[in-house]
Structures are given as structure tokens and as C-alpha cells.
Amino acid sequence: MTDINKVIESLDWQREPYGLYEPIAYTLASGGKRIRPTLALTAAEVIVNGGLINGSAIDDVLPAALALEVFHNFTLLHDDVMDRAEVRRGRPTVHVKWNDNTAILSGDQMLIEAYKLLAQIPGDKVQRTLMMFNEMATGICEGQQLDMEFEHMSHVGIDDYMRMIEKKTSVLLAYAMKIGGYIAGATPAQQEALYEYGLHIGLAFQIQDDILDVYGDPKTFGKAIGGDICCNKKTFLLLTAMENADPESKAELLQWMMQDVQNDEAQGSKEKIEGVTTIYDRLGVRAIGETVIEEHTSIALSQLDKLPQNDATMRLRELAEKLVTRKS
């Protein structure tokens, strides 16, 4: 199996002007789960049956896998500017460590670097892959736009929320699978199964993310716990709570939401996080979220039955199951 971290480390960012490329190196070196390139490579391995892909086919997919990871990190970089997030993976975000302009411009260059990597796959696959990649990238921008619009909307339903996270998170995992499979020679039906697998683990993944933001361990989660609560972010938990709340709990929730706090160590933010979490606990929204996660995990797993069965398929099965119980 390709060690994707080693490949990412081997990318050379020692280029002038350093001010443009250093923030890219910083962002890519900050770790993360590397789920997207892993999915692309594993999808390719599923297709090149037997669980063992020959060297040349991995070489074919690798640039696209890297492009997906670079693209993902670009979205984090720009999202952090837009969300004014100060910490990412336990480190200051680029706009905090440098400034907004650096985050904007190095982010732009990072997006271009993703397309540079994409141009390195075999020539006869470039056009179709480029089209899929563009669809994916469009979905993500549309998802981020919806996410930002939700902030100013008084009512957002769970359905709206699911459509938003499908674009903002799932489409990237779905296309990671599909692109990896396509370059490795998957049939249209196989590409579809790979896509659906990615889509549904993506949905599960995002809801788990919302849960971890409240119930995660600050040591492993990398971000401050309760950030979503502090800024009234319309997460799966909050929207489910609003839909399921008795009038009293709803009033209590709305009252907490009117309290404007920063996510710092101040008493106000602590109280708000504790207060909202208590309501979540009372309404059992975590359990509701976990049920939805299991549903999507199950749909994802069922896609794997349509694909060749080998070591790589097994790893996708394990990955889907691990996502449900992840801590960070």
C-alpha cells in the first residue's frame, strides 16, 4: 500500500516567492486523516482486482489522489478565513499565522496546484477526470455558500442540512472514489457504486463531525470543543434539537442562542456550551445522529457488494465501520 503521507511530504514547496508557497507547505504538513487520497487509491485497488495493483496503475492514480488532498486542504484554508476559525488540527490557521491576504492568495495557488497534479494523469483520462473534479469542486463551493447562508436563516430543516453537507463534504469523498476507480478502469456501474459509497460515508462522516464538536475529546479532536455551540452553527445536533424540542426546551435553546459568546475559556462560553449540551442530552439528539450515521454507513457498505471482493474492498468495509466510532 502506498504511504500517502510520504508522498505528500515529498511534494516540493521550496519555491519562490516563499511567501506564496510556505503557507501551502504548512497547511499540507499539518496532517489530517488523508481520507480522500486513501479513498481514491483504495478505489483503484478494488478495481484492479485481487487487492494488489501493479506499480504502473498506482502511478496513474496517484497524481489525482494528491490533487484531491491538496484541493481539500485548499478548502480548509479558505473556509477558515470565511469562518474566522483560529485553530485547525491543533495549530493556528494560515490567516492567523500570516494574514487574510496570504490565506486568500496561497489558497488560490493551492487550488491551481491541485489542477497541476490532475494534469499529470494519463492523457486519455485527463478530460473526463477534469470534468469530474470540476463537478466536485463546484459542489463544495455551493455547499460552503449554503452553509454560510444558513447562518442568517431563522429556519433550516434537517433536509436542507443534509443537502448542504452532501455538497460540502460528501461529494468530495464520492468523487475521490469515482475518480480513483475511473482512472483504474472501472465500468460505469462500478464507478456509480464507488461514488455512492463515498457519498454515504461522507454524510456519516459529517454528522459524526458535528457530534465530535460537542462530545469529542479535546485532546484528540484538534479543535476547541463546543465551537459550533458558541457560534450557533446550524449543525445536525442543533437542527434535530430544534425539530424535536418540547416548547420549553426550544425556548431554552433560543435563549442560549441569543447569548453572544466567543469560544474562549471565558465563563460565558463555558456556561453556554454546558447549557446547550444539557438540552441535547435531554432530547437525545446524539443518539438520533448516531442512528442516521449507522443508516448511511449501512448504505455505503451495501455498495461494496456490487464491486470486486478483495483486500481493498475489505479495507473500505473497515473504513466505513471505523468512521462510525472515530474520535477525531
Please state the closest distance from residue 119 (CB atom) to its own copies, in A. Answer: 5
Kindly state whether residue 154 participates in binding its own copies, applying the rule CB under 8 A: no
Rg (CA), the chain: 20
Least distance (Å) between residue 100 CB and its own copies:
8
Among 25, 29, 58, 104, binds its own copies (CB under 8 A): 104
How far, in Å, CA of 153 to CA of 150, rounded? 5
Q: Does 17 bind its own copies (CB under 8 A)?
A: yes
Residues counted in the chain: 328
Residue 281 corresponds to which cell in the numbers above?
442530552
Binding residue (CB under 8 A) for its own copies from 9, 50, 90, 148: 148
118 binds its own copies (CB under 8 A): yes
Stretch that binds its own copies, among 113-121, 220-228, 282-290, 302-310 (CB under 8 A): 113-121
Residue 105 within binding range of its own copies, rule CB under 8 A: yes
Q: How far lies 25's CA from each of 19, 35, 77, 87, 102, in Å?
A: 11, 18, 12, 17, 13
Contact 107, 78 (CB under 8 A): yes
**Which DSSP string corresponds to 44-77?**
HHHHSSTT---HHHHHHHHHHHHHHHHHHHHHHH
Residue count, binding to its own copies (CB under 8 A): 37
- Would you say 148 or 266 has its CB closer to its own copies? 148
From residue 307, how far is each of 43, 198, 200, 297 by CA, in Å?
10, 13, 16, 16
Q: Please, which residue, 81 or 214, has the CB nearer to its own copies?
A: 81
d(CA 15, CA 13): 5
- Rule CB under 8 A: choose which of 31, 33, 52, 149 binds its own copies: 149
At residue 157, the 3 state secondary structure works out as: coil
Of 126 and 224, CB closest to its own copies: 126
Give the number of other Cβ atoms within 10 Å of residue 55's Cβ: 7
Binding mask 37-76 for its own copies (x = CB under 8 A): ----------------------------------------
Cβ proximity to its own copies: between 7 and 104 the closer is 104
d(CA 238, CA 234): 6
Which residue ranges make up the site for its own copies (CB under 8 A)?
Answer: 16-17, 19-20, 78, 81-82, 100-101, 104-105, 107-109, 111-112, 115-116, 118-119, 123-124, 126-127, 130-131, 133-134, 137-138, 141-142, 144-146, 148-149
